[in-house]
Structure 1
Amino acid sequence: MAPQNGGQPATSEDNLTITTFSQSSRDMHVRVEKPEAGYLCSLSMCARVPLPPDELYDLLISPTDCMRIFKTLKQVNHRRVLSEDSQGNRTVEVDQTGTWRFLMFRGSFTVRMVVEQRRADRTISFRLARPGFMRDFSGTWCVRPFDNASLDALVNKHTPSPLHRLQSSLRAVEQSLGLGATQAESLVVLQQSIAPALAPPPALAKMLQRIAAKQITRIMSDLTEEVDRINSSRSGSSSASSSTAAALPPSAGGDASAATQQHTLSRREKREQQRQAAAAAAEQALEDKKRLAAHVTELR
């Protein structure tokens, strides 16, 4: 789907405006906000990705997968784990070279960053390890389930209402009790600030803003391509397994009769197992509802 842009009229070549602009498609929205004094720009991006949050987070923190997926990542010159614990928290120092492209212009840049990964809330924060041509290059990636709770939190993050806080508490209780549904899609949110060591002239600043926005859209396009490949591969494997099972030839003579009896017995056993599992699930659900009601009473 072709991008749809809001704000000021877009340029014909890049479909982006000059100072403050936003670029949207069905599953992604990128916004470059008017920068604070001394900053080139502040970017925000949110995207819908058809992959479970934990799996998507694992892709983003894997050095091997990142080198394979992202075309803007040219090479990793240095990587060192500074700290790590058993909870999935890790701090890494990484020096990497990236590439950029804008119209007929191309180039590369090298930055050394400190990256902090927090598995509990699926966040990846980064900042410059040492300044160079950049005075500040920092931001945070956050991977959440794509659901009403995440979208509501995104809308109400600045001025949450009492109702929103109560809803958040109830959802937290649901998750702690294991009542939350398994999520098949993710909401990816990025907040990023860029400040060069020397303030560029206005004309150059406008071009650099467009380059920064294009970098984000390319990164997300690469990630979306990989997710589509993963989902297509799974779909193909499932279809192949079904076709193979359907194509298996029946046994001959007495073997066929024995196989039929065994199949009938297996079906009876399976139905009995399903009945027992359903009864156990109903009992557990009733117990969970009682525990949830008790927690809600405490919240009040």
Structure 2
Amino acid sequence: MQQQRFRPDFVKDCILKIVKIMAHHRRVTPISDTSTIENRAASVDSSKPSRSKKEGTDSELSQSGYGKPQVSVRKQKGVYMIKGAMKVGIDPDVMYGIITDHESSPRIFKSISRVEIEEKENGKIVTQHARWNFFRWSGTFSIRLLVEEDHQSRSFKFQLQEPGFLRIFDGEWNVNPLKVEGEKAGSLVLLKQQMLPKVVALGPLSRCMCGVLSSQVRTLFHDLRDEANASNEGDKKKAAG
């Protein structure tokens, strides 16, 4: 069998093809100003939203409807800064319970195949065995995280413990009560995260990476949405029974 000859421009061609495909779907160009997502999210629970253009409003988030995440990714000093927000029609305590149910994460999240949990004095060590896909390549890697939960504020922080495939993978989840005209209307789920892979992406590949990360975070939010919907359906069946 004749060995296939490696073409030096093969990787470049693949990268350009990915960039073109993602640009077509408007997922490559990162959002330069991620502060608007946070400001919109903060204004949802306000009875008198700010009219300041600098602060922004919750109009875009409201128009997106429930279960449609708003995600932004930008690169700052080499580190990818990720922010996301999504409204979910479920009680905040129930939503927080879903996010912190680490034992069930392989069932909830499509990207996680297995998880191991160790109880520590200052929190939990959660080891996630995750899947990744990039164009025609795929594989698995493990992430060992220190997780600190605060049930009173419905937040938890996570911090990478053993750099490997990723050099930085830190962030925080928050679940806030969502109100519309003063009435309870579900939860507002917020994610702030910073990530730095071991291999540095430059130029078009860096912009491509922003698109890939944005897509992955949206999938993460969609998985949470589906679990929340399933939980709501389960509660309705129990009430009906």
* 1:82 aligned partner, one-letter code: K
**Shift in CA distance, 228/103, structure 1 to aligned 2, threshold 3 Å:** farther
Provide the C-alpha distance between the structure 1 equivalents of 2:148 and 2:110, rounded to a whole number of angstroms.
22
Q: 1:60-209 residue pairs with structure 2 within 5 A?
A: 60-76=99-115, 78-83=116-121, 91-147=123-179, 183=184, 185-209=186-210
Provide the C-alpha distance between the structure 2 equivalents of 1:233 and 1:64, rounded to a whole number of angstroms.
19
Helix, strand or coil for the counterpart of 2:23?
Answer: coil
Provide the C-alpha distance between the structure 1 equivalents of 2:26 and 2:78, rounded to a whole number of angstroms.
26
* 1:15 aligned partner, one-letter code: R
Residue 115 of structure 2 is aligned to residue 37 of structure 1: no
- Deviation of 1:105 after TM superposition, in Å, equals 4.2
Query: Per-residue displacement from partner, 1:120-149 (whole Å, max 9, x unpaired)?
Result: 111111111122232211110001101269
TM-score, normalised with respect to structure 1? 0.57
Helix, strand or coil for the counterpart of 2:76?
Answer: coil
Taking only the aligned residue pairs, the percentage that are identical comes to 25
* 2:100 aligned partner, one-letter code: I
Provide the C-alpha distance between the structure 2 equivalents of 1:93 and 1:69, rounded to a whole number of angstroms.
19
**Shift in CA distance, 93/237, structure 1 to aligned 2, threshold 3 Å:** closer
Larger Rg: 1
Contact 1:100 1:215 in 2 (8 A): no
Contact 1:97 1:111 in 2 (8 A): yes
**Shift in CA distance, 133/105, structure 1 to aligned 2, threshold 3 Å:** closer
Q: 1:171-250 residue pairs with structure 2 within 5 A?
A: 183=184, 185-239=186-240, 241=241
- Deviation of 1:101 after TM superposition, in Å, equals 3.2
Provide the C-alpha distance between the structure 2 equivalents of 1:52 and 1:113, rounded to a whole number of angstroms.
27
Residue in structure 2 matched with residue 11 of structure 1 by the alignment: 23
What are the ranges of 5 or more consecutive residues in structure 2 without an aligned counterpart? 1-21, 38-60
- Deviation of 1:19 after TM superposition, in Å, equals 3.7
Q: Which has the higher strand share?
A: 2
- Deviation of 1:70 after TM superposition, in Å, equals 1.1
What are the ranges of 5 or more consecutive residues in structure 1 without an aligned counterpart? 1-9, 84-89, 150-179, 242-300
* 1:18 aligned partner, one-letter code: T
